[in-house]
Amino acid sequence: MFNRLCIIGVGLIGGSIARAARQRGLSKSIVGYGRQQDLQNLETAKRLEVIDDYTLDIEQALKGADCVVIATPVGTIETILGLLKPFWSDEALYTDVGSTKGNVIAAAERVFGAVPDNLVPAHPIAGAEQSGVEAAIDDLFLNKRLIITPVSNTKPEALQKIQCFWEQLGSTVSVMDVHHHDAILAATSHLPHILAFALVDMLGRKDEQSEIFKYAAGGFRDFSRIASSDPTMWLDICSANKNEIIPLIQQLKEELDKIERTLKNDDGQQLFETFTYARNARQRFLDQFDN
């Protein structure tokens, strides 16, 4: 499918893309690019045969590449696009894997004046709490959703080829508007991570004076699992999508206030109805995976 695949940022996601592409024969060669501080990770990636080679020189990384995947934290996207600009090729395809898309579009407009027609923003709904290339696996995207967010001037053939690439990696691909993507992910991913971080932050400080964690059961472990995610990555995500996240936090505060009032008023019926509706809503969510 490609002659040379360039992965900028060979971590969990970038490394998993490389592993899956290699397993499925989607590129003749795969090169990784990173900064000096990424050298050890890049050396590990080559030793594990995740990539064929690596370089700290962006011009060398892009030489002959017909597909470039930006797999760095969302806060770095403008810097990466700035590095790519002098060597941008109209013959290559460019995509990213960021959890927010509005900032990708805005960064491209600032760097290029307009979004290049061969840049196709994408977001794989897949991941893990671990990070680094050693956590990369070749089936991370298998049967996982992948959202592509083209803009009005995106080349149809570029969109089609990136969609085909992700489908061959095993993803179920959807195409949607950039703002719609960011609103959905704020509700289903970004807010839950904030909740997990906030809860563990609160209880962790209490645990310094008591034994809360000692007696925490499996439910707490399940709910708090995503608080083990990379803080730097989630700082970038929340900052990039704050305009969608803040209204949701306000709505959640109102929901918690409502529950607080029902407890104060001993309104068991209202509390039961809230819990019942939530249980049924979650079951509808689970039923989607059974059909």
CA–CA gap between residue 146 and residue 164 (Å, rounded): 11
Q: What is the pLDDT of residue 184?
A: 96
Q: What is the mean pLDDT of each run of 10 residues along the chain (291 residues)?
A: 96 95 96 93 95 96 97 94 97 96 97 98 84 89 96 97 96 96 96 95 81 84 89 92 97 96 96 94 84 61
The token duo for 175 is 């195409």
Q: For domain 181-290, which CATH number applies: 3.40.50.150, 2.40.128.50, 3.40.190.10, 1.10.3660.10?
A: 1.10.3660.10
User: Is 2-176 in CATH node 1.20.1250.20?
Assistant: no
CB 9 within 8 A of CB 172: no
Q: What is the pLDDT of residue 280?
A: 94
Nearest to 30 by CA among 80, 69, 57: 69
Read off φ and ψ for residue 28, nearest 5 degrees: -70, -35
Residue partners of 105: CB distance under 8 A and separation at least 6: 115, 121, 149, 151, 178
DSSP secondary structure letter of residue 86:
G
pTM over 0.75? The answer is yes
Q: What is the pLDDT of residue 103?
A: 95
Where in the chain are the domains? 2-176, 181-290
